[in-house]
Amino acid sequence: MTAAPADSIASDRPAPLVSKVGMALFIGTEAMFFAGLISAYLVFRVGNPNWPPAGQPRLPVESTAFNTLILLLSAAFCHRAVSTLRAGLARSSAYWLGLTAVFGLFFLVLQGREWIRLVQFGLTLTSSVYGGLFYTLIGVHGLHVLAGTALVLYVLKRSVEGRYSAAYPLGVELARMYWNFVVALWPGLYFLVYLL
Amino acid sequence: MALFTFVFAVVSPAFGCPLCFGSTPYELGLYWSVLFLLPVPFVIVGVLIAWIRRQSDGNIKEG
């Protein structure tokens, strides 16, 4: 059995621009999905002068602001993972990817903790339109963070296996594109749901 | 003349989106959500085109 020549391995790899355009289109559909959810939220938010409705708990603004910072930091780490990989520092890139995943998980844990407290205070999916909208909008974003963290961990595993290099950083770049989208969405959602 | 009088004087104003021009909070909510959703597809497609152009320019420079 002979080893496959290097040229054939290279040709098996997906073309970077095509893959990135595919990811960009996917992110475009995701943005449209979130725009629909935000639009639904606006109907009820603007339509109810008393918001949050009487008897419903107030949302944890300060702790979520800290959580926002965590998510923004994770995006900076992900950016660093790509820049170090492009500079030829694959091990350093894996380290930054790991840090991105840890901060993503940290965000999810803090969000989960706040949700448990809100449920204890009586805010559930069926308690009111307020609860339904909150858990749908923030929950769907949380699912995206979970998916993004899983993607970063998958890319980290492949990075440790030595599948990415300065000449071929595609997987890490795609993960960064998705992660940037998920992170960029959050400050807008935070402002809309927690501050407005 | 009779038709003119009928159209402009008798028939009450008809709006393309009657809810959007209301003044109750619920109607205002619909108004703002419509206003928010209207530019979204254009913004997404615009950003996508700008990004693809930037990427392809970078590829040409590298190539």
Residues of chain B in contact with residue A24, where contact means CB-CB under 8 angstroms, are 48, 51-52
The answer to whether the CB atoms of B48 and A46 lie below 8 A apart is no
Report ipTM for this prediction. Answer: 0.74
Number of domains in chain A: 1
Q: Tell me, what's the pLDDT at A12?
A: 66
The answer to whether the CB atoms of B33 and A48 lie below 8 A apart is no
Length reported for chain B:
63
- CA distance linking residue B59 with residue B42, whole number of Å: 26
The lowest-confidence range among A41-45, A70-74, A95-99, B22-26 is B22-26
SS (HEC) of A24-36: HHHHHHHHHHHHH
**Min distance B58 CA to chain A CA atoms (Å):** 10
User: Identity (one letter) of the amino acid at A68?
Assistant: T
Assess contact for A3 and A157: CB atoms under 8 A.
no
User: Is some CB atom of chain A closer than 8 A to the CB atom of B57?
Assistant: no
The number of C-beta contacts closer than 8 angstroms across A and B is: 54
A103-113 pLDDT per residue, tens: 999 999 999 99
User: Is some CB atom of chain B closer than 8 A to the CB atom of A163?
Assistant: no
Domain annotation covers residue A39: no
**Min distance A161 CA to chain B CA atoms (Å):** 27
Domain annotation covers residue A177: yes
Domain annotation covers residue A33: no
A15, HSE (Cβ side, Cα atoms, 13 Å): 7
The answer to whether the CB atoms of A46 and B29 lie below 8 A apart is yes
Nearest Cα residue to A104 out of A143, A162, A137 = A143
**Residue of chain B with shortest Cα separation from A46:** B29
Mutate: best of B28, B31, B33, B57, partner A, most A CBs <10 A? B33
CATH code of the domain covering residue A93:
1.20.120.80
Say yes or no to pLDDT of B14 above 60. no
Domain annotation covers residue A153: yes
Domain annotation covers residue A145: yes
Q: Tell me, what's the pLDDT at A152?
A: 97
Which pLDDT band, with edges at 50, 70 and 90, does B57 fall under? confident
CA torsion angle A141 A191 A32 A67 (round to 10): -30
Containing structural domain, residue A80: 62-195
Domain annotation covers residue A20: no
* Sign (positive or negative) of CA dihedral A120, A122, A127, A133: negative
A39-79 pLDDT per residue, tens: 999 998 988 888 888 888 889 999 999 999 999 999 999 99
Domain annotation covers residue A10: no
Say yes or no to pLDDT of A3 above 70. no
Q: Tell me, what's the pLDDT at B12?
A: 61
Q: Tell me, what's the pLDDT at A11?
A: 58
What is the SS3 assignment for B38?
A: coil
The answer to whether the CB atoms of A49 and B25 lie below 8 A apart is yes
A127-182 pLDDT per residue, tens: 888 999 999 999 999 999 999 999 999 999 999 999 999 999 999 999 999 999 99
User: Is some CB atom of chain B closer than 8 A to the CB atom of A25?
Assistant: yes
